Amino acid sequence: MQDLYLPIAAGVFALVVVALAVVLVRYRARPERAARPTRDHYSVDAIVALVLAAIVAVLVAVTLRTNDTETALARPSFRVDAVAFQWGWQFSYPSRPGVVDRSAPGRPATLHVPAGTTVEVSLRTRDVVHAFWIPDLRFKRDAWPRKTARFDLRFPAGTAAGVGHCAQFCGLKHSDMVFFVDAMDPARFASWSRAKGGRA
């Protein structure tokens, strides 16, 4: 997506800036030359409109396809129940009954997940709207009162520690509503799970 949007944006920006620079140098007022009266060329407008429409068509087509694959739910290998509240997070794991990671004052919760596989998150809120954002995964989703949002996350293989934020303003301690992410390789995840009393 980025690889498509950024070059086009950079190209358009460069085109406009260069065009402006050329025009400013070429048509700067000089004593010996008067401005030419404007003549409209609506064919130029039509061509520009068609070119832009074609670019838009490509961008939208790619966007829609990517959006479908990114938001489609695959068969998950691990599930997480995430609950947002003012001002913290609680993560529990349906396949590991009794294992709960919950924020305490001054100590953010940690989300434990296996790396390299599909993790399905069920996201709820206990009060106002919050948003679950893991910048490293470039994905966020809002938690809405009385609704459950379901989405897949896929952490790259290998062990990685990261951070997540609440992105939706939710009151006084919105700034503090962070959580840690511990994505573990399968062996470490199994030992974490055993230590917590769950199955590997």
Partner 1 sequence: MSATVTPPFAPVRGLVGLAVGTDHKGVALRLGTAAFGFFLAGGVLALLMRAELAQPGMQVTSRGGYDQFFSMHGSTMIYLFVTPAALALGMYLVPLQIGAAEIAWPRLNLMGFWLLVLGGLVMWSGFLTRNGAGSAAWTGEYPQSAAIATPGPGMDLWCAGVALAGLAGIALAASQLATIAGRRAPGMTLLRMPIFTWSMLVTCLMTVASFPALVLAMGLLLADRHGVDVFHSAGGPAAYQNIFWFYGHPVVYVMFFPFLGAVLEVVSTFSRRRVFGYRAIVISLLVFTALSMSVWGHHMFTTGQVANGYFSLTSTMLAVPAGLEYLAMIGTMVGGAIVLRTPMLFALGFIVQFLVGGLSGIYVASPPLDYHVHDSYFVVAHFHYTLLAGSVFGLFAGVYYWWPKVTGRLLFERLGRLHFWLFVVGTNLTFIPQFVLGYDGMPRRIADYSPAYGWAGWNTASTVGAGIVAFPSWSSSSTWR
62-121 binders of partner 1 (CB under 8 A): 63-64, 66-67, 70
* 178, 180, 188, 196: residue in contact with partner 1 (rule CB under 8 A): 178
Residues 155-174 that bind partner 1 (CB under 8 A): 163, 165-174
User: Whose Cβ is closer to partner 1: residue 169's or residue 191's?
Assistant: 169
User: Whose Cβ is closer to partner 1: residue 37's or residue 98's?
Assistant: 37
Minimal CA–CA distance to 196: which of 80, 101, 109, 84?
A: 101
What is the C-alpha to C-alpha distance for residues 142 and 139, in angstroms, rounded to an integer?
11
What is the C-alpha to C-alpha distance for residues 153 and 78, in angstroms, rounded to an integer?
10
Query: For partner 1, which stretch binds (CB under 8 A), given 6-14, 97-105, 111-119, 153-161?
Result: 6-14
Name residue 115's amino acid.
A
Burial of 183 (0-12, 13-18, 19+ CB in 10 A): buried
User: Whose Cβ is closer to partner 1: residue 113's or residue 143's?
Assistant: 143
48 binds partner 1 (CB under 8 A): yes
